[in-house]
Structure 1
Amino acid sequence: MKHGTLTTKGNKVELRFERRLAHPPEKVWRALTDSKELAHWFPARIEGAREAGAQLRFFFEEGDPGSGKMHVFDPPRVLEYTWEGDLLRWELKPEGTGSLLVFTTIPADRANVSRDATGWHFCLDNLEASVDGNPAAGFDKERFSALNADYAARFGLGSFPAFMLGAANRVADASLSIPGVEAYVFNGADGTQLTLCHAKSDAETGEQWRDVDEYVVVLEGSYVVRINGMDMHLGAGREFVIPRSARVSGRYTAGTRTIHARGSKPPEQSDS
């Protein structure tokens, strides 16, 4: 199976690909490490010594270079290095006259997994073509879009992007009366408020009275909002508006992510 798979490793996730290639490990190893061979399939030019502990630089045609470090260089079996916080590991095992290539990566940001899976899928297709002596496939926007949508459906984002999770916006669980829910709040100049919630476990909120309208969208998982004693079950992709003056409580299943946008208080209710 050429598609990548995703597994949880502690508080991180691992993206894994397996490719069976009709060439011995020594030939595939050259494709993984030799600069001229890398140019056929790898997305950047790598500069740095091919030895454990070496500092690496990654260059694109445009933009600033990235940095990384070589951790394992064991020809023709294991190659492991970091690239801008992502761990990349390549393992080769002989299989008859060919070899099994196992590529795993632990991304620094879980929210990038679907995009990363699509990109590495294309890279591995081109690696396979390269060792077979065939030209790399040109970039196909329609295929990329379809494959990205496929991976997004398989994996989801799983978390909010790291740039949205600044410590200054982190809300303590006790403040929200939602133990088990990680939340980040962004306040608008006009008094509106946006809250990102990620349930780390099953969780339930206490009942509250809403003094402003609230918009809720469920990105992943399942959220039940109880309004004036009536349950509304919201799955991934559902959105809902909770009206002002409602009595509201909520129930999360573990892994659920929601966005809550609350309007500003009307003038007569504004603090003074």
Structure 2
Amino acid sequence: MLARIEKGETGYSATYERHLNHPVEEVWSYLTDNEKLPKWFAELRVDELREGGVIKFDMGDGTFDELSILELKMNSVLEFSWWVDTVRFELSEESEGCLLKFIEKIHTITDHTPRDLAGWHVCLDVIEALLDGRTIERKEEWKIWYERYVKEIQKVTKQ
């Protein structure tokens, strides 16, 4: 399912939802455990898991950008800066597992935005696949979702 992309007063938001057949604590571990995190997003590492703490992004050239943790509620909310934007993971219990909601607040739509949206979409799919004991072909999936997000961004920016 595509993210819901909306224009707001101060930018845009993209909201993804995944109903996962796994407990909140297990899903949370994929968001915050440095042994599991690289399985779905190789460049991220949690440096200090606390509000005001840091998540490091490996730039691939020997340097790291520091992303600030803006809000943290254990097993529930992880929000951090994504350069000028923010990303937020919210987990809530459901009868058969949990709801994972991911929200990216986007300051400005750029040519790169559909790439990022497709990337987040595939990352969430990879988390679900890992939890289910499956694998997915990331590059092929990304190409499919990228084309869809290009069209979605065009719709939203023409409003």
Counterpart secondary structure, 1:67? strand
Note the C-alpha offset of 1:55: 3.1
Note the C-alpha offset of 1:139: 3.2
Counterpart secondary structure, 1:35? coil
Kindly tell me the number of residue pairs found equivalent between the two proteins.
158
Q: TM-score, normalised by structure 1?
A: 0.53
CA deviation digits over 1:124-148, x for unaligned, max 9? Answer: 110101112233x23334x433321
Q: TM-score, normalised by structure 2?
A: 0.88
Separation of aligned partners in 1, 2:133 and 2:78: 23
Corresponding residue number in structure 1 for 2:123: 123
Task: From the CA coordinates, give the structure whose radius of gyration is larger.
Answer: 1
Separation of aligned partners in 1, 2:19 and 2:52: 29
Contact 2:23 2:97 in 1 (8 A): yes
Corresponding residue number in structure 2 for 1:3: 2
Counterpart secondary structure, 1:155? helix
CA deviation digits over 1:100-135, x for unaligned, max 9? Answer: 000001124312332211111110110101112233
Separation of aligned partners in 2, 1:50 and 1:101: 19
Separation of aligned partners in 1, 2:109 and 2:7: 10
Larger strand proportion of the pair: 1
Separation of aligned partners in 2, 1:62 and 1:121: 25
Separation of aligned partners in 1, 2:70 and 2:142: 31
Counterpart secondary structure, 1:156? helix
Note the C-alpha offset of 1:151: 1.1
Note the C-alpha offset of 1:73: 1.4
Percent of counterpart pairs with the same letter?
Answer: 27
Note the C-alpha offset of 1:82: 0.7
Contact 1:110 1:157 in 2 (8 A): no
Q: Does 1:153 align with 2:151?
A: yes
Moved over 4 A (4+): none
Higher relative contact order structure (alpha carbons within 8 Å, sequence separation ≥ 6): 2
Corresponding residue number in structure 2 for 1:110: 109
Larger helix proportion of the pair: 2
Q: CA RMSD in A?
A: 2.1
| Gapped regions of structure 2 (runs ≥ 5) | none
